[in-house]
Amino acid sequence: MGVALTRSAQWTAVGHGAKTLEVTPLNEAIVKEIIMFVESFIYKYPQEANYVFVEPLEWKTNLDPSAFGSGYAVSGTIVKSEEVDKNGEPLLYLSVPQIKIRSFGQLSRILYIAKNMKLKEAQACIEDYEFSNGCRAPPWRQIKGEICYVLVKPHDAETLCVTCSKEGVFLNGGKTDDEGQINYERKGEIYKDLVTLLKEKSAIFSENMSKQEIKFSEQPQKDQPNEAPKEEVAITHKASVTSRKSTQEKNRINLGRSQLTKRLEPSLNWRTSVSSKESRNTLRDTQVEKHGGKLEKSRSSVSPGRAQLIRKSVEKIEEIISDSSSESEEDEEQPDHRQEANADLPSEYWQIQKLVKYLKGGNQTATVIALCSMKDFNLAQETCQLAIRDVGGLEVLINLLETDEVKCKIGSLKILKEISHNPQIRRNIVDLGGLPVMVNILDSPHKSLKCLAAETIANVAKFRRARRVVRRHGGITKLVALLDCGKHSGEPAQSSLYETRDVEVARCGALALWSCSKSYANKEAIRKAGGIPLLARLLKTSHENMLIPVVGTLQECASEENYRAAIKAERIIENLVKNLNSENEQLQEHCAMAIYQCAEDEETRDLVRLHGGLKPLASLLNNTDNKERLAAVTGAIWKCSISKENVTKFREYKAIETLVGLLTDQPEEVLVNVVGALGECCQEHENRVIIRRCGGIQPLVNLLVGINQALLVNVTKAVGACAVEPESMMIIDRLDGVRLLWSLLKNPHPDVKASAAWALCPCIQNAKDAGEMVRSFVGGLELVVNLLKSDNKEVLASVCAVITNIAKDQENLAVITDHGVVPLLSKLANTNNDKLRRHLAETISRCCMWGRNRVAFGEHKAVAPLVRYLKSNDTNVHRATAQALYQLSEDADNCVTMHENGAVKLLLDMVGSPDEELQEAAAGCISNIRRLALAIEKARYS
């Protein structure tokens, strides 16, 4: 993409300032491609999306702070992301109009927020961009050590086009056209610096520099050695990317002997790692020097965050694998972050530290006053949070929780609740033993204390270790008890739910359970503590702030089969459907996600339909701005579409046409679900016609070139289902879809291989000349035969189905026989998997129709295992096996083997089957065996 921007994008200079992208179709196409890549990055590469840039992307934005919703703290013209780096710095910072973004994840989200302004935002980000290390060379040249390119016009020579690199400077091939392209090839020798090169190329320059050097030697030492000479040489920088600085500023170059190469050393941060030698040099140039026991930053020092990233680039990056798929967030332990001794800290930092001292040594009244005063500070700021922590305030606040003074406990919890949004603070709280104390407070008769303790637990339990501590100290049981907000009331339970304080207690309990439920062990603990009936009861309330954590908890728990059964029993689906009609987008999202988790079960799918849930799901497809909600809704539609009755309803609500419209310009998380839903809908003829008429075949085929495994599994299924229609198959063939499916047989993921193979079967069946088409795939027949060596049963079954179809062509059958298909099929004959048995028997039956393959199957011991297939309970296996045995029985030795293994009796039972194909095959096989027996008898008595 960098190459495309540098070489293909069309730039125009605005006066003497930075260049901008011209308004051309080519530029628009390039920017749109970048937008699509960035939008899908967070779903394609979730781990990489969290990596923090060494330096932020920065530009002037047109976005208003009001456009930012959940996940961001908005204060006037300032917006900060709640997502922070290991130093607690926000990954997105907006101070109108300047915006700074430090990760691909935030870059993806800003494009979603920008909506119809995303094109302008992407363009603004691309223009003025420059490499933070000062390099002007494009990345593919930086890797060669190149830094920048300058045009120099001496008085007595032609214009020189010079490359500045780590090794030195040299002349390159010059500009190649009016667009400013550079021929990067080196012409001539390498000089140690620009001055040396110019001395060599220009006599006048050499003479002038000699005069300047004499002047420098005569100057007192107090004069600056790097002061520029009075007579300057005009030098024009030609960068690969445009600069924020004006052309006039870039045309002035200091010809003194500065450490140019060190200052402009090209960045290799975009590579996987840098050499340890380079890292040490970088750290040496940027380290903080010690003077008199105090730390002082040198002017060239980098930020602690950047230095930390440089150090980490040398180390091996280890991926932390969670023991639960839903425990992926914040599970890694983060290094401690302390304020530097010499940092310029605001006055609030020192004021808070004074208050902490009062907490340590004051009486009850002073303590309460100090807590109230501390609460008045902006505790959402990291500076204030760390001020409390750095002077030992966390220990004091946790100690206050164990006193008998309710006011002190309340004040302490209010502060802990606010500062525990900081990832490092919550880890400190766990390290100091704060969670068990908070769990004990859940038993308090004071409802305010319960609420505050539960909310703080909800904040702290964002990582696995904290969730484990809550469970081991009995916190799950106590949190579940908070949900039963009406059990002490003499009124009916439903009436007490509307008591404000009781609702708040239950809400806070649900909030904490939501955080805790990301652990499998905690899910089980919630179920065993009787949490499901209480959550079901709370679902009937009208309080949205209560419903969101309740549904969020159910959504997390519904991933477990035990929960899904209990959710059905408690009639929770009805209330989930009802809340799909809420105006709260977050509530809609979690309800749809819970339905998605539960709809694996057929009865649940029916309940969603019976309670009228399909229509609101179809309606929510039209609101595509909120991608998280759209992913949840499409997921629910996908799972509900597994039932044919639901597909009929979706067709009635025009949902299929809407789904086709979502096949482009959507993140992969949405695409996986959309294609999954269409794959289920494609099982019916009417829906296949709708998809074709809506232009859905091409975008489906286009998705076959992706790398997302879940998406490939779904899209191959959908394309294969469409290929059943001859009209659709013509389109698939014209778009080269069959070749793309065949290439997916090389995919390393077995599910993708199997799905692609199943999709190829209808393609081969409906192709005009299937035999020639398959032979046109170079190495295709050998590939499919080699797949019989797989140890995955689904792959083997699907490949057998493909071989059965391609073997209908005699030329193909001859080729796969030469590639050793018979011994490989024979080796698989001992399988006990009925699905594989059926397709294996069909393949053997088909392969018997070439040469001496019948005999070869007998020689490779495939006949006796096939006879045992007749004992299966699957009629499809019986039919395929009888047909294979019929073909094999044309060989006398095979008949003997069948008779010895009891085939006749088993086949006799199947002659009376209502399945005509099975009847004929069984009878034909018995006939051949009987004919052989008669021939032997005749030979014996003749």
- Residue-wise pLDDT tens digits, 824-864: 999 999 999 999 999 999 999 999 999 899 999 999 999 99
Taking residues 289-313, report their average pLDDT. Answer: 31
The DSSP letter of residue 487 is T
Residue 560 or 341, more confident:
560
Instruction: Kindly tell me if the per-residue pLDDT of 526 is higher than 70.
Output: yes
How many CA atoms within 13 Å lie on the side-chain side of 368?
A: 8
Q: Which pLDDT band, with edges at 50, 70 and 90, does 156 fall under?
A: confident
The DSSP letter of residue 705 is G
pLDDT on residue 634: 96
Per-residue pLDDT of 404-431, as tens digits, reads 889 999 999 999 999 999 999 999 999 9
Taking residues 75-102, report their average pLDDT. Answer: 89
pLDDT on residue 793: 95
Q: Answer yes or no: are the C-beta atoms of 249 and 235 closer than 8 Å.
A: no
Ramachandran angles phi, psi of 72, nearest 5°: -135, 145
Per-residue pLDDT of 433-481, as tens digits, reads 999 999 999 999 999 999 999 999 999 999 999 999 999 999 999 999 9
Instruction: Kindly tell me if the per-residue pLDDT of 283 is higher than 70.
Output: no
Cα of 629 vs its chain's centroid, Å? 16
For the chain, the helix, strand and coil percentages under 3-state DSSP, each to the nearest 5: 60, 5, 30
> Which tokens sit at 9?
């994008």
Among residues 529, 553, 533, 446, the alpha carbon closest in space to that of 480 is found at: 529
Cα of 717 vs its chain's centroid, Å? 22
Instruction: Kindly tell me if the per-residue pLDDT of 759 is higher than 70.
Output: yes
Instruction: Kindly tell me if the per-residue pLDDT of 244 is higher than 80.
Output: no
Reduce the DSSP state of residue 60 to 3 states and report it: strand
Among residues 343, 346, 339, 368, the alpha carbon closest in space to that of 355 is found at: 368
Taking residues 766-782, report their average pLDDT. Answer: 87
| Lowest mean pLDDT across 51-65, 317-331, 786-800 | 317-331
Taking residues 483-489, report their average pLDDT. Answer: 61
Rounded Cα distance, 250 and 245, in Å: 7
Instruction: Kindly tell me if the per-residue pLDDT of 114 is higher than 90.
Output: no
The DSSP letter of residue 90 is B
pLDDT on residue 494: 47
Taking residues 190-199, report their average pLDDT. Answer: 87
Q: Which pLDDT band, with edges at 50, 70 and 90, does 205 fall under?
A: confident
Per-residue pLDDT of 353-365, as tens digits, reads 888 887 876 678 8
pLDDT on residue 912: 86
Taking residues 557-577, report their average pLDDT. Answer: 87
> Edge-to-edge, what's the strand order for the sheet holding 235-237?
182-191, 169-175, 160-165, 146-152, 235-237
| Lowest mean pLDDT across 281-285, 400-404, 756-760, 814-818 | 281-285
Q: Answer yes or no: are the C-beta atoms of 781 and 742 closer than 8 Å.
A: no
pLDDT on residue 184: 81
Q: What value does the mean pLDDT of the chain take? A: 80
pLDDT on residue 940: 65
| Lowest mean pLDDT across 10-19, 191-200, 593-602 | 10-19
pLDDT on residue 627: 93
H or E segment and range at residue 187: strand 182-191
Q: What is the pTM of this model?
A: 0.64
pLDDT on residue 337: 54
**Cis preceding-peptide flag for 97 (omega within 30 of 0):** yes
